[in-house]
A and B are shown apart, each in its own frame.
Chain A
């Protein structure tokens, strides 16, 4: 006896076998992932979407024997609730009908749909003389669909799912607006399933992972809802790092000065002042602020010269500002402010020097040029105020620590909610 028939995917033209023809109404194309309505003679495309990398533990069409019946895996779902992700496989045998295989965290359950409904409601129900107590009640969403099913199923379907436990046996109630279905779930020895269905290696439990009946539905990485705690710890650690950086940046000792820099003239050297680095190592930060100018830049080459050893530590800065007009209108670029940071300056007393040179864009104005019709005019110059201080900390380093701390919980959050 065979119930199989072949249909052609209207999306990609692939030939697909419907193994339970007459029962199956929804079928996902194995080639392109399109979801098809096979209840009609002219197979209709319900939705077409690029098939996600399914990564299911059991390959569809695989046959395996459980409870002395040979089953074929004809459909697979990936589903999730707020605290868990798991996979469900629809098994089919032409004589025995449909069954379910459910897997989470390497633990397997065998599901049989109930024809007789349990009695009772609320936190406790009775079925065939046995009492089951409410274990979980959550909204379950289908995130991936692969294969064929005897009801219309699509990605994004949501049902209210309650599970009732009695030892290691479960009764699952799934309720939609149209119907309520009950399924009995009994545990299976994972080795039995692995042998029967050639389970992919990466879905076998990790070494040392113990079975946890209470957490049966919980997928790897979701067993403990520790994500809020991880975010809290990351933010706490970031706060500690900020405090450490702030406390260890001081004390703040400054020197400041102001110089006029002639545009287009040769580079000149100025002494800003003397500062003392009192900690074993400190940052030194120099702020440069200029008066208003356009289409000019000022090169700033700083030197910290140790007064005892005459050794020099160099750093580089710039102040530049440009304006213009183009087809989009008026634009500006740059700033009249510049900040330069020395890292790892050892303890000592330092003279702070700056070599300044200013230039014009797109070309330099003539050096020492005056207005031709104004003999009293002076050559163009830019005034720059310097403020050199010990202390300061690296914001770039702080954000690197923020990424390293928040990266792991963000990655787990993404992994949980990925399609």
Chain B
């Protein structure tokens, strides 16, 4: 097992732990708890 693979394994383990902690606290940076700044205008935006 190369040194690079060992480092990458540690990185994977770290991310799994972070994901576990985030899942336990039901944390997400994408929750909808703030009204977006663009909410003042409504209407089609593709044109």
Chain A residues close to B by CB (< 8 Å): 221, 223-224, 226, 229-230, 233-234, 236-237, 240-241, 244-245, 248-249, 279-283, 297, 299, 301, 313-318, 320, 322, 324, 326, 331, 333-334, 340-345, 359, 361-362, 393-397, 401, 404-405, 408-409
From residue B35, how far is it (CB to closest CB) to chain A in Å? 4
B44 neighbours in A (Cβ, 8 Å): 322, 324, 331, 333-334, 361
Question: Considering only CB atoms, which chain B residue lies closest to A230 in the complex?
Answer: B8
Query: Would you call B5 and A229 a contact (CB within 8 A)?
Result: yes
| Closest residue of B by beta carbon distance from A280 | B24
Q: How many B residues have CB within 8 A of the partner chain?
A: 35
Q: Are B29 and A396 in contact, with the CB atoms below 8 A? A: yes
Q: Is the CB of B43 within 8 A of A361?
A: yes
User: B5 near A226 (CB under 8 angstroms)?
Assistant: yes
Given known contacts A241-B16, A324-B44, A281 and B29 CB-to-CB distance under 8 angstroms? no
Counting chain B CB atoms within 10 Å of each CB, the highest count among A236, A344, A393 belongs to A344
Closest A residue to B23 by beta carbon equals A248
Minimal beta-carbon separation of B45 from chain A (angstroms): 7
Chain B, 13-33, CB within 8 A of any chain A CB? 13, 15-16, 18-20, 22-33
A361/B42 in contact, CB under 8 A? yes
Instruction: Indicate whether A244 sits within 8 Å of B2 (C-beta atoms), given known contacts A314-B33, A322-B43, A404-B15.
Output: no
B30 — which chain A residues lie within 8 A by C-beta? 341, 343, 394-397
Name the CB-closest residue of A to B33: A315
> Smallest distance from the beta carbon of A378 to chain B beta carbons, Å?
24
How far apart are the CA atoms of A395 and B31 in the complex, in Å? 11
Question: A343–B31 contact, CB under 8 A?
Answer: yes
Q: Which of B4, B31, B46 contacts A342 (CB 8 A)?
A: B31
For the complex, give the distance between the alpha carbons of A253 and B8 in Å: 39
Contacts of A341 in B (CB 8 A): 28, 30-32
Instruction: Specify which of A233, A244, A333 is in contact with B19 (CB 8 Å cutoff).
Output: A244
Within 8 Å by CB of A223, from B2, B13, B25, B35, lies B2
Q: Contact: A320 with B42, CB < 8 Å? A: yes
